[in-house]
Amino acid sequence: MKQPTRRLSGLLICVLLSVPVFAAGALEAGAMLGGFALTDQHDQPGRVDDTTKLLLFSRDMKANKLAKAALSPHPARYLSDAKAAYVIDVSGMPGFVTKHFAIPKMRQYAYPILIDRDATTTAGLPSQKGQVTLIHLDHLHVTGIEYATTADALNRAVDAAGH
């Protein structure tokens, strides 16, 4: 009788160890973010890893427009030079709209946008409607979380990450 219990316990431990830290609940300062890979709007691979200093994140149209206003005036390498990554969650958008309208529109932007199509990667990332989440990282250790409500605030955070 002990053998099935032991197997179940072992299975549970394996499952818990394989889930990224932030998937269990909202990510907060002091936590470790599991690195991840997604493709951008050009289907090119991109990563959030231990070299990333700033993670910009949004999951709604108003926040995406704020990011566009902040990032569009800058050269294509603005984010990568600052060791920053911009990630969006498009899971709330109908697949047809994402595929035929949203992503083709994003391809016009010079800056890379890592896209989470099904919210599995970004489920635990914090967000506030209409704001871009700024997650400050030091070797994937979350040192702070704030929310940008203006293009200037977003650019200041990216510029600070690059210095």
CATH code assigned at 84: 3.40.30.10
Burial 102-125 (b: 16+ CB within 10 A, else e): bbeebeebebbbbbbbeeebbbbb
Arithmetic mean of pLDDT over the chain: 88
Total count of domains within the chain: 1
Would the pLDDT of 131 be above 90? Answer: yes
Average pLDDT over residues 20-49: 84
Range name among 16-25, 84-93, 115-124, 131-140 with the lowest pLDDT average: 16-25
Mean of the pLDDT values across residues 6-27?
43
| Structure confidence at residue 26 as a pLDDT band (50, 70, 90) | confident
Q: Containing domain of residue 143, as a range?
A: 2-161
17 φ, ψ (degrees, to nearest 5): -75, -20
Query: pTM of the entire structure?
Result: 0.84
Tell me what pLDDT residue 35 has: 95
The 10s digit of each residue's pLDDT in 40-80 is: 999 999 999 999 999 999 999 999 999 999 999 999 999 99
